Chain A
């Protein structure tokens, strides 16, 4: 009963986020994010249909669809990177290099870990690939968040909400997956129970933050820039005058 309620709430929220995105104009602003949301909706519907009409097939289907949505969630990362650093070309270039380096390193590590004689069970291999991809996503997201915090990147309310929801989901999911894959751990049961709650919480954050398209932070007008520049010129002149005055005084016998 409880699972069904969470499933219905979650799927309804995904549908609401998509609907509001289309009506409010955010769909055009964040196409990659909404593509990911569509993937999630399709996965949820396919999952429910198989659970209802072909329960034996549900177990086989679960991890491949989970893996597909984890891969699709990388689109959200690309969207965040694209939108938040479009006015910061210097940081974008540096960030891209850092992210690519981290991606290559972690993928190589995960691939070697995966290929160490554990390809016998296909379902487990897919599940572990999904888990490793989530870890990589977590590492990349951490790097991206660090860049935003360090360089005080200016974010609009919609984008900020998107990042908050995504960070909350990935952060909790990473811990959950680590607990779930740990054998004989009493925390894994708790982790399994917590996951749907964090999923609904994330969707609620997205639903609230992306309910309507909010304007990006407004920057000063050209007039103010001109005024500031004139102020700088005046200040530089006064500093120069002061320095030359001190120099003249110093040169006096």
Chain B
């Protein structure tokens, strides 16, 4: 019976992945291969994540919250908390989107611009998955508790984003734009 269940899962997964491939191919026809422009944008996005990650720690600084709580009126404190929460959520959503775009770019590039090394692939995927999981939890925590009561999870998420971006920057260093364009030439029929 266990074998039957396993085989049924295998068959179902084949059909599900085939449907996923069909959906993916439908979307990809409009955006076929990685352009050098996208590569340049990825570099910019990566730099932005690095710079913003350093700055965003200020948003979650407990010192600011304590200062406002001591010297401001309840209205000011409420408005401050609301604004910081909004900022924190915005930053997490933006970073998540940027990291997802970087991962997408890596996967599309991997097809024809470099030989994927299994170790590196595993490392990058693990870091990406950790970041996605942590950022989802943090988003929920920030939403429920606010930015100043989930500081440990937030700093872990920031470190996870930084760690992914460091690994990804190593990957981008390996892309030679000349090789990128020759990869595209080879795709012309």
Contact = CB atoms under 8 A, between A and B. Distances in A.
Interface string A75-94: 00000000000011111011
A138 B184 contact: no
Given A142-B10, A219-B188, A155 B17 contact: no
Interface string A232-246: 100110010000000
Contacts of B110: 90-91, 151
Given A160-B21, A239-B47, 4 more contacts: A87-B112, A149-B21, A164-B18, A231-B37
Contact of A232 (B25, B39, B189): B39
Contact of B10 (A135, A182, A215, A232): A135
A224 B186 CA distance: 14
Contacts of A150: 107
Nearest to A87: B187
Given A168-B15, A231-B40, A232-B39, A90 B10 contact: no
Interface string A157-187: 0001001100110111111011100100000
Contact of A163 (B4, B21, B108): B21
B61 interface: no
Contact of B24 (A91, A152, A179, A236): A152
A171 B113 CA distance: 32
B70 to A, nearest CB: 34
Contacts of A93: 115
Interface in B3-62: 3-4, 7-8, 10-15, 17-18, 20-22, 24-25, 28-29, 32-33, 35-37, 39-40, 43-44, 47
A232 B115 CA distance: 23
B36 A94 contact: no
B17 A167 contact: yes
A148 B28 CA distance: 12
Interface of B: 3-4, 7-8, 10-15, 17-18, 20-22, 24-25, 28-29, 32-33, 35-37, 39-40, 43-44, 47, 104, 107-108, 110-116, 118, 177-178, 181, 184-189
B117 to A, nearest CB: 9
Contacts of B113: 90
A35 B108 CA distance: 32
B150 to A, nearest CB: 32
A160 B10 contact: no
A203 interface: no
Contacts of B40: 231-232, 235-236
